[in-house]
Chain A
């Protein structure tokens, strides 16, 4: 019937000009769905009146694979979930298994882990900034962001030989000793990074078009954010001061001073500001950490074959995108009985449907970008 459409819950909804609704399939092949997300949009003209996320195009059964690998063997697999923040994934997994084994990584390992993880946070946020700006139509920031990200990846490469899926940590500590100039490299990067962030902000923060495209777009209220289980910058931009690095410190985060940036309105602009500030804070953490890296062993005493006692453990860390949790059940054998992963991207994507309603098609890409999802992690 022209002029009215039936929404999912059966109520009739009038379109503006009395026209039929238009169903637009965005993805899985689309320049700005950040991988293989497929969104089915119901449009009235260009206004979104309904949306449905269809995921699973990148499902690889990571959790199931875990049940057929030994604890060490599974570690490289987690790098392939959030492939733009592989180091953080590895940290969460290694610490979860350490908790299960009741061992603790030596202090030196903890500090080096912290440095690498914070660098990874900066790299992840840089990638987010570049692609987000590209989605909104600013062509240039992504190349500047990649320039800096490259420096970080070079540090990773020097440390463990890999750039993207690093597998940098081992259960119980580190496999590799820090290379000689690690501190110097990190310091040089941090020194150069400060003015660079200012450069990005100069391009975007006060730009009228950028403000128009991000302010008031995709507002997620604090109560909704909590109800939907959003974490990370998405939650903090709504004004909730919740960061697992402070709330339940892991690695060496309790030793360092840093702020938790929060937003007020929870719109796309606030999420942008929060992530920009987080990059600065991560830089400060790195600078504090390289000042005093303790000496000593880098590996705790764990056996060649890991056989954790039967039991279960949940451990979560603050990954760049939010709370990354590992729930591991051991039955006393060399393989985990079950590994359940709580990916931040997947949970944050839940809020997409509710915040996209009423916006225009152009805002859909802005909102997908601002949620900072990685489909490898959403689909696992």
Chain B
């Protein structure tokens, strides 16, 4: 007994920080996901000439909380003919995998749950792909045709697009030479350039594949509302359904973070080693001041006093954030002796800002596409995956590898490598388009899928 307690205390002593991070992730992430939903609805409303949620709280800001409460107290329905255990387990698997994969990600140089994990990216990709089991099992256990079709679509989609996404990641990993998340970002710092700029085609491939992987429009076939009602989650209601939702949005955060880490320079600002761009370090603080000023300006125009006060509160928060973001830059200017002591904070605070900004931009792109594009049909989705994205990503990896060898022979250092990799990417794109064209000539778009081997 004594030994067990001692072991527990030792464990806690050694791992209190990651444990705390884990608790924070599990506790806070649902809230963040809820607010991403609200932001999505607001953006959608803005693009569709309407207002979106406005009733709960000022500008509908309490909507996610109201939704969560509603979903929690809803009757929990399990279909009579469902496989109860699997039905119960599936959403937990889905959301569990998504939350677990967050452990491998680093928001800043210091913020990582599984600190220094040397298989970082592999861990994240592998664990987040496990979430598909939740979808497949949930669709199967529901014992409903819509759910089954949704689950089948989802698994086929994941298998097809995970390959392309993986190959695109390999491209980035070739540059970095490591799977460690922190080292990857450091490699981009040493390169002086984001890998997304070195290998734009790989970034594009990952972008498309990650949309498909997270089942977002225009690849939202597994839950295609107008076709399959709600796909694999047709039979789910209440909080189980909310868990699937949470899993989906967490997955969005995960793929956005992976893309940010590998292609968009993680917590680095654009062109981190170009010194005349140093003024960009002030961008976080200035942007916060701008948002705050806008809130102050708009506050008198709010119709209700509560809303006015709320706007002012938001403005105040923005100014405080601006102060925090500007602090690491201003302190050394005031007292040069502090420069060394402040440096890690500068990386941490400004780095987190850049990281979150990039992740938000990536997610915003997801949303923008969702509201703009119609949905692919299943056979078209498969054709796009197998006839275009997979060949493109494989050829791209090969050519980028060759370009790197050529670059090292020609002593292309740092950012100069771009002159080898960009032509390689362009050639890869051209070859892939050739393959696509040849494939289409060989097998023209038919009416329906009468002889379509993908539509199984």
Contact with B along A354-366 (1 / 0, CB 8 A): 0000111111110
Tell me which of A144, A358, A362 contacts B450 (CB under 8 A): A358
Residues of A near B122 (CB, < 8 A) are: none
Residue of B nearest to A139 (CB): B371
B455–A137 contact, CB under 8 A? no
Bound Cα distance A32, B375 (Å): 14
Residues of B near A210 (CB, < 8 A) are: 374
Residues of B near A204 (CB, < 8 A) are: 374
Q: Check: B193 CB closer than 8 A to any chain A CB.
A: no
B379–A360 contact, CB under 8 A? yes
Bound Cα distance A11, B218 (Å): 39
Return B441 CB to nearest CB of chain A, in Å. Answer: 16
Q: Check: A16 CB closer than 8 A to any chain B CB.
A: yes
Residues of A near B448 (CB, < 8 A) are: 47, 216-217, 358-360, 363
A212–B44 contact, CB under 8 A? no
Residues in A1-31 with C-beta less than 8 Å from chain B: 16-17, 22-25, 30-31
Stretch from A107-115, A128-136, A323-331 forming part of the interface with B: A128-136
Stretch from B78-86, B226-234, B356-364 forming part of the interface with A: B226-234
Bound Cα distance A307, B307 (Å): 65
Bound Cα distance A45, B49 (Å): 39
Residues of B near A363 (CB, < 8 A) are: 377, 448
Residues of B near A46 (CB, < 8 A) are: 149, 153, 378, 449, 455-456
B227–A361 contact, CB under 8 A? yes
Contact with A along B80-120 (1 / 0, CB 8 A): 00000000000000000000000000000000000000000
Residue of A17, A25, A136, A219 contacting most chain B CB atoms (<10 Å): A136
A212–B371 contact, CB under 8 A? no
Residues in B206-255 with C-beta less than 8 Å from chain A: 217-218, 220-221, 224-229
**Given A17-B456, A24-B146, is A137 in contact with B226 using a C-beta cutoff of 8 Å?**
yes
Bound Cα distance A31, B229 (Å): 6
Q: Check: A143 CB closer than 8 A to any chain B CB.
A: yes
Q: Check: B24 CB closer than 8 A to any chain A CB.
A: no
Q: Check: B48 CB closer than 8 A to any chain A CB.
A: yes
B456–A139 contact, CB under 8 A? no
Bound Cα distance A365, B374 (Å): 13
B145–A24 contact, CB under 8 A? yes
Residues of B near A47 (CB, < 8 A) are: 448-450, 452, 455
* Number of residue pairs spanning A and B whose beta carbons lie under 8 angstroms apart: 121
**Given A46-B455, A133-B374, A209-B374, is A140 in contact with B449 using a C-beta cutoff of 8 Å?**
no
B229–A140 contact, CB under 8 A? no
Q: Check: B447 CB closer than 8 A to any chain A CB.
A: yes
Residues of A near B380 (CB, < 8 A) are: 209, 212-213
Q: Check: B8 CB closer than 8 A to any chain A CB.
A: no
Q: Check: B330 CB closer than 8 A to any chain A CB.
A: no
B217–A139 contact, CB under 8 A? yes
Q: Check: B372 CB closer than 8 A to any chain A CB.
A: yes
Bound Cα distance A267, B224 (Å): 23
Residue of A nearest to B456 (CB): A45
Q: Check: B446 CB closer than 8 A to any chain A CB.
A: yes
Q: Check: A198 CB closer than 8 A to any chain B CB.
A: no
Contact with B along A150-169 (1 / 0, CB 8 A): 00000000000000000000
Residues of B near A25 (CB, < 8 A) are: 145
Residues of B near A144 (CB, < 8 A) are: 48-49
Q: Check: B42 CB closer than 8 A to any chain A CB.
A: no
Q: Check: B175 CB closer than 8 A to any chain A CB.
A: no
Q: Check: A203 CB closer than 8 A to any chain B CB.
A: yes
A216–B226 contact, CB under 8 A? no
Return B10 CB to nearest CB of chain A, in Å. Answer: 54
Return A95 CB to nearest CB of chain B, in Å. Answer: 37
Contact with B along A41-55 (1 / 0, CB 8 A): 000011100000000
Residues of B near A219 (CB, < 8 A) are: 447
Tell me which of B146, B226, B371, B453 contacts A135 (CB under 8 A): B226
Return B53 CB to nearest CB of chain A, in Å. Answer: 15
Return A227 CB to nearest CB of chain B, in Å. Answer: 19
Q: Check: B50 CB closer than 8 A to any chain A CB.
A: yes
Tell me which of A139, A267, A360 contacts B377 (CB under 8 A): A360
Residues of A near B447 (CB, < 8 A) are: 216-217, 219, 267, 358-359
Residue of A23, A144, A217, A358 contacting most chain B CB atoms (<10 Å): A358
Q: Check: B345 CB closer than 8 A to any chain A CB.
A: no
Residues of B near A103 (CB, < 8 A) are: none
Q: Check: B376 CB closer than 8 A to any chain A CB.
A: yes
Residue of A nearest to B373 (CB): A209
A137–B374 contact, CB under 8 A? yes
Residues in B344-402 with C-beta less than 8 Å from chain A: 370-380
A137–B445 contact, CB under 8 A? no
Bound Cα distance A260, B289 (Å): 59
Tell me which of B370, B372, B446 contacts A216 (CB under 8 A): B446
Residues of A near B226 (CB, < 8 A) are: 31-32, 134-137, 365
A360–B217 contact, CB under 8 A? no
Bound Cα distance A212, B373 (Å): 12
Residue of B nearest to A209 (CB): B374
Residues of A near B370 (CB, < 8 A) are: 139
Q: Check: B47 CB closer than 8 A to any chain A CB.
A: yes
Q: Check: A147 CB closer than 8 A to any chain B CB.
A: yes
Residues of B near A30 (CB, < 8 A) are: 229
Bound Cα distance A220, B97 (Å): 47
Return A184 CB to nearest CB of chain B, in Å. Answer: 24
Q: Check: A347 CB closer than 8 A to any chain B CB.
A: no
Bound Cα distance A175, B450 (Å): 55
B375–A213 contact, CB under 8 A? yes
B228–A361 contact, CB under 8 A? yes
A140–B455 contact, CB under 8 A? no
Residues of B near A135 (CB, < 8 A) are: 226
Q: Check: A333 CB closer than 8 A to any chain B CB.
A: no
Tell me which of B48, B374, B449 contacts A213 (CB under 8 A): B374
Return B260 CB to nearest CB of chain A, in Å. Answer: 26
Bound Cα distance A133, B375 (Å): 10
Bound Cα distance A203, B224 (Å): 20
Bound Cα distance A361, B375 (Å): 13
Q: Check: A181 CB closer than 8 A to any chain B CB.
A: no
Residues of B near A16 (CB, < 8 A) are: 453, 455-456
Contact with A along B46-89 (1 / 0, CB 8 A): 01111000000000000000000000000000000000000000
Bound Cα distance A341, B378 (Å): 40
B455–A207 contact, CB under 8 A? no
Bound Cα distance A135, B453 (Å): 25
Bound Cα distance A359, B452 (Å): 10
B145–A147 contact, CB under 8 A? no
**Given A31-B225, A359-B449, is A136 in contact with B455 using a C-beta cutoff of 8 Å?**
no
Residue of B377, B379, B446 contacting most chain A CB atoms (<10 Å): B377
Q: Check: A138 CB closer than 8 A to any chain B CB.
A: yes
Bound Cα distance A370, B293 (Å): 49
Tell me which of A203, A212, A359 contacts B372 (CB under 8 A): A203
Q: A137-B224, A362-B224 are in contact. List 16 more A-B contacts (CB 8 A).
A: A24-B145, A32-B226, A137-B375, A140-B372, A143-B50, A209-B218, A209-B375, A213-B380, A216-B447, A359-B448, A360-B379, A360-B448, A360-B452, A361-B149, A361-B227, A363-B377
Interface residue ranges, A against B (CB under 8 Å): 16-17, 22-25, 30-32, 45-47, 133-140, 143-144, 147, 203-204, 207, 209-210, 212-213, 215-217, 219, 267, 358-365
Jot down 10 A-B pairs with beta carbons below 8 A, ordered by A. Answer: A16-B453, A24-B145, A45-B455, A47-B452, A137-B218, A137-B376, A359-B448, A360-B377, A361-B227, A363-B448
Counting from the closest, the 5 A-B pairs by CB-CB distance are: A137-B375, A143-B48, A359-B448, A32-B226, A216-B447
